[in-house]
Amino acid sequence: MENTSSLSRKTTESVGLGKKTQYMVETALMVAIVLIMGNTVLGTIPTPFLKVSIVTVPVALAAMLIGPAAGIVCGIVFGLNSFAGAFTGASGMLSTLFTISPIGVFFTAIVARFLDATLVSFVYKALHRGKLKTVSYYITGALMPLFNTVFFMGFLCLFFYHTEYVQNLVNTYNASNPFAFVIAMVGVQATVEAVIGCILAGTLGMILTKVLHRA
């Protein structure tokens, strides 16, 4: 009887360890995809008028397929990679803003992505448990890029709106206030990214959930 109990305990521990390993491997894979897409042309869809980013797609997929914590980790990695762009020159805007306020860039690049991934990951979890299970994939796919823009531009305006650099952009877009500036600068792009995210991440999320037998 004691041997049976010991065997059962070891089996449970082995299953638990297996799930943890699987979780870590899957999260690491999604992190790698975020980094690859964030540093290559794979992270953008070029159009005649816009350079559409789809880096939020693997962040959304991590939240759907692995869980909120994985989504948040991928969101933070996305932000850290963007923050690194301020040092490497990959992002001309962030590089310029970093000379004005490193803390402001930290919030704009990293905290914005953390908040985006956290909020949307838990929205997905809540919707997926209810009657909107199928639609939850598409809502998550749309909200991830949308809130990414909202938080990014929100922090940018909070920390940098009155700087000479941003005021030059404000004048270029002939914007009368921060809201008008955001709409003029990224309104169309945010809408396009939300639509593409909805279709791409939503469809992939639903298909992969079935293929991988996730709940």
Q: Is 8 exposed, middle or buried (0-12, 13-18, 19+ CB in 10 A)?
A: exposed
Kind of pairing, strands 44-46 and 51-53? Answer: antiparallel
The residues spanned by each domain of the chain are: 24-36+54-211
| Type of residue numbered 116 | D
pTM flag (> 0.85): yes
Cβ count within 10 A of residue 4: 8
Residue 131 or 164, more confident: 164
Looking at the predicted structure, is the pLDDT value of residue 46 above 80?
no
Q: Which of 2-11, 24-33, 36-45, 175-184 has the lowest mean pLDDT?
A: 2-11
For the domain made up of 24-36+54-211, the CATH class stated in words is mainly alpha
More confident call, 165 vs 14: 165
| pLDDT at residue 8, rounded to an integer | 52
Is residue 204 within 8 A of residue 57, CB to CB? The reply is yes
> Per-residue pLDDT for 175 more than 50?
yes
Closest CA to 190 of 95, 51, 61, 76: 51
